[in-house]
């Protein structure tokens, strides 16, 4: 059976990583972390436009590594924290443009569903987050929603408190993949780490 991929997107501090982790646990599978965090923690927060393409490449490489790890498993699902739509929105919001390579990847890549996280969770500060104010968060949310509306892959908005988000997301994933579908992949303890 082919690998099914569900992407979780949305502005910063909207629970994407927590949701990915919860979904992966529920469906007994893996999730791909956001490469930008690793990159910025290593190289610093003062990124330039050219860094976005480097980050985009790193994100796709990480996704491919996890996808290869799941190859051959019965009915596998992979949850992905961030994709090229995030890179597009990031580039357009911060720099007013998006690298054509990133746009090409949006067209070339195939996913089974998107979960768009709403901004109804309180913003939580960390060393990489940039937009604590409600205005930019709402603008970013609507940029993501525009991306979702203008593409053909199924998608759902996810909101509410943590437990409600996870419950809604689980139901949305089941709907996108077909009712009763479940991954049977069981990750290895230490060797499952990438």
Q: What is the pLDDT along the chain (194 residues), one digit of tens a residue?
A: 789 999 999 998 888 999 999 999 999 999 999 999 899 889 988 889 999 999 999 999 999 999 999 988 888 999 999 999 999 999 999 999 999 999 999 999 999 999 999 998 776 655 554 555 677 889 999 999 999 999 999 999 999 987 899 999 999 999 999 864 443 333 333 333 33
Q: Is residue 182 situated within a structural domain?
A: no
Q: Show the CA angle centred on residue 74, arms to residues 184 and 153, nearest 5°.
A: 90
Q: Is residue 34 situated within a structural domain?
A: yes
In angstroms, the CA 179 to CA 121 distance is 28
Residue 123: give its domain's CATH number: 3.40.50.300
Q: Find the domain containing 58 and state its range.
A: 4-177
The structural domain count of the chain equals 1
Q: Is residue 186 situated within a structural domain?
A: no
């Amino acid at each position: 059976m082919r690998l099914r991929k569900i992407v979780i997107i949305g502005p910063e501090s909207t629970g994407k990583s927590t949701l990915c982790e919860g979904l992966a646990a529920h469906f007994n599978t893996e999730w791909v972390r956001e490469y930008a965090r690793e990159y910025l923690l290593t190289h610093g927060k003062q990124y330039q436009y050219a860094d976005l393409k480097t980050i985009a490449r790193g994100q796709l490489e990480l996704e491919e590594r996890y996808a290869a790890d799941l190859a051959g498993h019965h009915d596998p699902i992979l949850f992905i924290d961030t994709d090229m739509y995030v890179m597009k929105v990031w580039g357009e919001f911060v720099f007013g443009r998006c690298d054509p390579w990133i746009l090409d990847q949006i067209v070339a890549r195939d996913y089974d569903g998107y979960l768009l996280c709403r901004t109804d969770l309180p913003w939580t500060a960390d060393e990489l987050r940039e937009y604590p104010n409600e205005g930019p968060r709402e603008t970013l949310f609507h940029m993501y929603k525009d991306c979702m509306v203008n593409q053909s892959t199924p998608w759902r908005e996810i909101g509410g408190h943590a437990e409600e988000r996870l419950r809604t997301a689980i139901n949305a994933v089941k709907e996108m993949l077909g009712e009763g579908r479940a991954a049977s992949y069981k990750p290895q303890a230490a060797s499952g780490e990438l």
